[in-house]
Amino acid sequence: MQLLQNGYRGLGMLVEVNLDRFLFPLALCAAICLGAYFGSP
């Protein structure tokens, strides 16, 4: 049980550290897609 808790805590820390790395390209893609959607006639 303790191993599971430690693994979950480690995974949570990994996600927290790398969230910026995944969130920035996602936001960039969303901005480009929205710009193309609203910019097209």
pLDDT of residue 30: 96
* pTM score: 0.53
Is residue 40 classed exposed, middle or buried when 0-12, 13-18 and 19+ CB atoms within 10 A define those classes?
Answer: exposed
Is residue 10 classed exposed, middle or buried when 0-12, 13-18 and 19+ CB atoms within 10 A define those classes?
Answer: exposed
pLDDT 10s digits, 9-40: 777 877 777 887 888 999 999 999 999 999 98
Torsion region of 6: left, alpha or beta (phi above 0 gives left; psi -120 to 50 gives alpha): alpha
pLDDT of residue 34: 95
Nearest to 9 by CA among 17, 26, 32, 30: 17
